[in-house]
């Protein structure tokens, strides 16, 4: 007993938990996964400490400083990426744009993921009257053009930050529900699920301990792709002037489209930020899908 306690105490002070160490050990074996993690983590870090990194208020107008070039093109060091047509600092705008894009994308994908996975599990595992009802709702959602629905709802409810998040979550959960339902229908008929029923495990426990881990990887892979898609969609809405009145990469792109030749940095740097973030999400999400999937995990 004393030795067990000592081992537990030693394990508790020996660094990160074993699961976390295993996660990073396997991540290091994948160059693409590591690259994606570093890219996405850097964007998250920048978003968290944007107020500390930004040299200026991104919405501060200074007409006497408009169209300053980036520092590497002979511009002022006070504005590393130059200024826009109103004298606003582009570098500060890119930093704060990361915060806006991540808030919208992560919250909306989390909402859609939670609703979709729950609906898919209930529909596929319990069936009955729930299955045809939920699937018809999903059919209706997926039959409507998502961009049209987004524009209509935002036009009615207004381009507020909370509205945009809710609209993305509402229009995005159907894909998760359909994917999870298909996986559940396959998993619940396998031998380990039948064995769990044979020893008397409750249906809820079978669903939570045996079915959910085997279907979660497909939903997470979809979430990783959706995260990048939401970032692009939010940027498109901002570009069209339908986003909330906050600093976004899409709004910066829209502001710089008329000055691509004379002030290329206004569009290039927000565009690079969008591409960099989306690629990081896709690379890391693809690796994460394989890591979570019990059928593939043993190959790492």
Tens of pLDDT, residue by residue over 17-53, are: 776 788 788 888 889 999 999 999 999 999 999 999 9
Give the rounded percent of residues in the chain with a pLDDT score beyond 90.
19
User: Is-above-0.85 flag for pTM?
Assistant: no
What does the DSSP assignment read for 61-96? --GGGTTPPPGGGT--TTSTT-B-TT--BHHHHHHH
State yes or no: pLDDT of 93 exceeds 70. Answer: yes
State yes or no: pLDDT of 15 exceeds 70. Answer: no
pLDDT level of residue 3 (50, 70, 90 thresholds): very low
Of the listed ranges 11-20, 97-106, 116-125, 154-163, the one predicted with least confidence: 11-20
Task: Identify the CA nearest to 245 among candidates 163, 156, 181.
Answer: 163
State yes or no: pLDDT of 204 exceeds 80. Answer: no
Tens of pLDDT, residue by residue over 262-279, are: 888 898 999 999 999 999
State the Cα–Cα distance between residues 186 and 214, nearest whole angstrom. 10
What is the b/e burial string over 54-66, where b = at least 16 CB atoms within 10 angstroms of the residue's CB? bebebeeeeeebe
Residues 6+ apart with CB under 8 A from 35: 280, 283
Integer Rg of the chain from CA: 23
Domains for the chain: give ranges and CATH numbers.
19-297 (1.10.3720.10)
Task: Identify the CA nearest to 283 among candidates 111, 76, 43, 11.
Answer: 43
State yes or no: pLDDT of 99 exceeds 80. Answer: yes
CA distances to 25, 91, 182, 183 from 179, rounded to whole Å, are: 30, 40, 5, 6
What is the b/e burial string over 79-115, where b = at least 16 CB atoms within 10 angstroms of the residue's CB? bbbbbbbebbbbbbbbbbbbbbbbbbbbbbbebbbeb
């Amino acid at each position: 007993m004393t030795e067990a306690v000592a081992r537990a105490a030693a394990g508790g002070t020996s660094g990160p938990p074993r699961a976390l160490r295993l996660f990073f050990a396997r991540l290091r074996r994948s160059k693409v996964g590591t690259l994606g993690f570093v890219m996405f983590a850097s964007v998250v870090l920048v978003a968290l400490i944007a107020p500390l990194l930004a040299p200026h208020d991104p919405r501060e107008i200074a007409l006497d400083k408009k169209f300053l070039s980036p520092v590497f093109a002979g511009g002022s060091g006070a504005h590393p990426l130059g200024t826009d047509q109103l004298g606003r600092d582009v570098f500060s705008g890119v930093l704060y744009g990361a915060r806006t894009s991540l808030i919208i994308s992560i919250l909306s994908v989390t909402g859609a993921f939670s609703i979709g996975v729950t609906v898919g599990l209930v529909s596929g595992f319990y069936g009955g009257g729930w299955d045809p009802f939920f699937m018809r709702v999903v059919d209706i959602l997926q039959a409507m053009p998502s961009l049209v629905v987004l524009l209509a709802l935002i036009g009615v409810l207004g381009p507020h930050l909370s509205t945009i998040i809710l609209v993305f979550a509402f229009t995005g959960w159907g894909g998760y529900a359909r994917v999870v339902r298909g996986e559940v229908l396959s998993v619940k008929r396998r031998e380990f699920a039948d064995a769990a029923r044979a020893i008397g495990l409750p249906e809820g426990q079978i669903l939570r301990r045996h079915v959910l881990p085997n279907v979660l990887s497909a939903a997470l892979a979809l979430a990783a792709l959706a995260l990048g898609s939401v970032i692009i969609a939010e940027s498109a809405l901002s570009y069209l002037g339908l986003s909330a009145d906050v600093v976004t990469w899409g709004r910066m792109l829209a502001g710089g489209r008329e000055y691509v030749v004379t002030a290329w940095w206004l569009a290039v740097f927000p565009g690079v930020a969008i591409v960099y973030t989306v690629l990081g999400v896709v690379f890391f999400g693809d690796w994460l899908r394989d890591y979570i999937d019990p059928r593939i995990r043993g190959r790492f």
